Amino acid sequence: MHELLEFDVYAPSTLGEALTYLSGEGKGSRVLAGGTSLIPEMQKEGSRVTRVVDLSGLSDLRYVRKTQSTIRVGGLTTIRELAEAKIFDDRYCCFRRLEHDLGFVSTRNMATVGGNLAAGADGDLAEILLALDGQVVIRNAKSERMAEPTNLDLAEDELVVEVRFADLKRPVSTWFNKFEKRKENGKGGITTTTLMKLKDDRTVEDVRIAVSRARGRKTGRVAGAESELRGRTPDAENIGRALDRLVAEIDPAGDFRGSSRFRKQVTRAMVKEGLGKCLEKLDHERRVEGAGQC
């Protein structure tokens, strides 16, 4: 890493000011939210970042709240604030798990929801939001649009201002898993998110399985594996069938962290654990009031 070169900083006090600047005289500027991705990039030899828009003053974009039946999270909410938000109970272990599975404490204190999503393939939140059927709110100076978490396609003048998803209705449970040889760097070599909702007769009403690198390097849902469980009892035989379908369905790109074959087998094991954790919590909730800790 090299020392940072000189660069200009614009620090807007409102979202409107930030968006106006990005669409006008600030075209080509880089956005600084938490800085956990941008600063290391700027320290690399050959960095061409000369103008930065510092969003740290936009406190109005830091929140986690429920509006009617929708959960809304501001784009500048930190990962730690998200993971520790009191609004999330035992249904949302997928977020609680970030407290342990996303980098160092310092990273979680700085990294933001919007920055993690804008980072693309290496971010964990896109996968979690995919399992929650979440949407990302993106704005520029003239308009607002909604995007799926794995397909933001951000323009230079756009910012992630909020994420939204429907509040989960019991009985439902979620789980997030991460495998990384060097977890502290905040980038998941392999990550999986599972959601399970049961009917009164203990058959699966809904199940969602999202994995990193479902196809190549793209995060995605595993529809075939989900279909093997939906409407059936989540016993060992049906879960095994779903896991076999998962391995046949995904085609992860290999790299120095692991081959495609390795990623398939680790993904299978992690999804198996995630489904087991969801089922364990749902069964516990049936026996006693509340499903306990994540």
pLDDT surpassing 90 at residue 58:
yes
- Residue 162, pLDDT above cutoff 80: yes
Statement: residue 181 has pLDDT above 70: no
Each residue of 222-248: pLDDT tens digit?
999 999 999 999 999 999 999 999 999
Average pLDDT of the segment spanning 122-139: 93
Which range (17-26, 90-99, 193-202, 282-291) has the least confidence? 282-291
Question: Is residue 31 located within the same domain as residue 50?
Answer: yes
- The pLDDT of residue 237 is 98
Q: Provide, rounded to the nearest whole percent, the portion of the chain with pLDDT above 90.
A: 70
* CB of 285 closer than 8 Å to CB of 294: no
pLDDT of residue 80: 94
Same domain assignment for residues 153 and 177: no
Q: Residue 102's pLDDT is what?
A: 73
Q: What is the CATH number of the domain that holds 93?
A: 3.30.465.10
* 148 and 192, same domain (yes or no): no
The b/e string for 18-42 (b: 16+ C-beta within 10 A; e otherwise) is bbbbbbeebeebbbbbbbbbbeeeb
> In this predicted structure, what is the pLDDT of residue 268?
98
Model confidence at 261: pLDDT above 70: yes
For residue 120, the model assigns a pLDDT of 74
Residue 119 and residue 47 share a domain: no
pLDDT at position 126:
94
Domain membership flag for residue 294: no
Average pLDDT over residues 140-166: 96
- Pair 203, 276 in one domain: yes
Per-residue pLDDT at 117 exceeds 90: yes
Rounded mean pLDDT, 193-198: 97
Is residue 3 in some structural domain? no
pTM, to two decimals:
0.90
CATH code where residue 32 lies: 3.30.43
Instruction: Specify if 126 maps to a domain.
Output: yes
77 lies in some domain: yes
| Reported confidence tier of residue 64, pLDDT bands at 50, 70, 90 | very high
Band of pLDDT at residue 285, cut at 50, 70 and 90: confident
- Same domain (yes/no): 188, 267: yes
- Sort 164 into a burial class: Cβ within 10 Å, 0-12 / 13-18 / 19+: middle
pLDDT at 189: 80
Q: Are residues 205 and 240 in the same domain?
A: yes
Tell me, yes or no, whether 135 and 184 share the same domain: no
Residue 293, domain member (yes or no): no
pLDDT band at 193; cut points 50, 70, 90 = very high
**pLDDT for 290:** 57
If one counts the domains in the chain, the total is 3
Q: Output the six-digit token pair for 91.
A: 């249904």
* Residue range of the domain that includes 80: 59-166
Of the two residues 121 and 276, the one the predictor is more confident about is 276
Same domain, 210 and 280: yes
- The dihedrals phi and psi of 193, each to the nearest 5 degrees, come to -130, 135
pLDDT band with cut points at 50, 70 and 90 for residue 61: very high
